[in-house]
Structure formats: structure tokens, C-alpha cells
């Protein structure tokens, strides 16, 4: 499990504007400015933040589950049980990152910090369902 989590941490930590740090409940937290994109726990849980409507659609589509502690929130929980799950975890984290980047881009500081990021093109490349894309 450690290799898979290390791979996720390494990749997400390289994204523009992301700061990785210790999560209060163990693991690594990823922030874009003041916003938490998500976090990973060493035991294979990846918790990802979304607006509640987006979370509901992702759960409905079977891409993730409601958060294991706060199931009524916008947070989701994705289980990494092996190498085959890494891509799914990264997809969810990237979708959250782009959702937050869209909001951060509206500020001068955010535009400067993320000047090389084309949020719309990246969202299109992720190919979320029309239902998810329409909610972002």
C-alpha cells in the first residue's frame, strides 16, 4: 500500500500551486492556497473535497463513496487497495484541484500563481460526465 500512496503524494505535490503538508489525522494534505483539495492516509484512504452537488453526482456514478466519517458533507472517500486504484484516486484529486483552481483563478493572486494552468482544457481532458462538468 505504501508504494501506491507514495506515488499519489509525489504526483499531486508537483501540481502548480499545491502545497503538501501533514494532515491533522495522519497522512498528507494537499492545499491550493487556503483550500484543501484532499488528503491521503497511509492506510489507503483518499479523502477528496467537492461541492456537495458534485460529490452527489460522483457517488451516483460510482466513482467514489461518501466520506467515511462525514457522509453528509461534500467530502468523498476513495479506497486505494492496490496499484489499479491509483489512477482513480489521482483522477478525483485532479478534478477537485481543477474545481478549486477555477475559483482561485478569479483572484489576482490566483491568476498569477496559476498562470500556466488552462482549467477548461484540463477539465475537458479529464472527461468527467456531462453531469459533473455542468456542476463545476
Domain boundaries defined on the chain = 2-128
- Write down the residue that cell numbers 508504494 correspond to: 3
**Looking at residue 55, what is its pLDDT?**
96
Sign of the alpha-carbon dihedral angle for 9, 121, 17, 31: negative
Helix and strand tally (H, E) in the chain? 6, 6
Closest CA to 90 of 50, 51, 48, 125: 48
Closest CA to 129 of 54, 72, 73: 54
Per-residue model confidence as pLDDT tens digits over 73-109: 999 999 999 999 999 999 999 999 999 998 887 777 7
pTM of the model: 0.94
CATH number of 2-128: 3.90.1150.30
**102/126 Cα distance (integer angstroms):** 15
Q: Which residues does residue 29 pair with via DSSP β-bridges, in sequence order?
A: 21, 39
Report whether 124 contacts 98 (CB < 8 A). no
How many percent of the chain have pLDDT more than 90? 74
**37/115 Cα distance (integer angstroms):** 19
Amino acid at each position: 500500500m505504501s508504494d501506491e500512496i507514495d506515488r499519489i503524494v509525489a504526483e499531486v505535490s508537483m501540481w502548480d500551486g499545491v502545497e503538501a503538508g501533514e494532515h491533522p489525522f495522519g497522512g498528507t494534505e494537499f492545499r491550493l492556497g487556503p483550500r484543501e483539495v484532499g488528503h491521503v492516509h497511509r492506510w489507503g484512504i483518499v479523502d477528496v473535497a467537492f461541492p456537495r452537488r458534485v460529490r452527489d453526482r460522483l457517488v451516483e456514478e460510482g466513482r467514489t463513496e461518501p466520506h467515511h466519517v462525514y457522509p453528509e458533507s461534500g467530502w468523498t472517500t476513495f479506497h486505494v487497495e492496490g496499484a489499479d486504484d491509483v489512477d482513480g484516486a489521482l483522477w478525483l484529486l485532479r478534478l477537485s484541484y481543477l474545481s478549486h483552481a477555477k475559483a482561485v483563478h478569479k483572484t489576482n493572486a490566483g491568476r498569477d500563481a496559476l498562470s500556466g494552468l488552462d482549467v477548461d482544457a484540463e477539465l475537458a481532458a479529464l472527461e468527467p460526465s456531462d453531469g459533473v462538468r455542468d456542476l463545476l
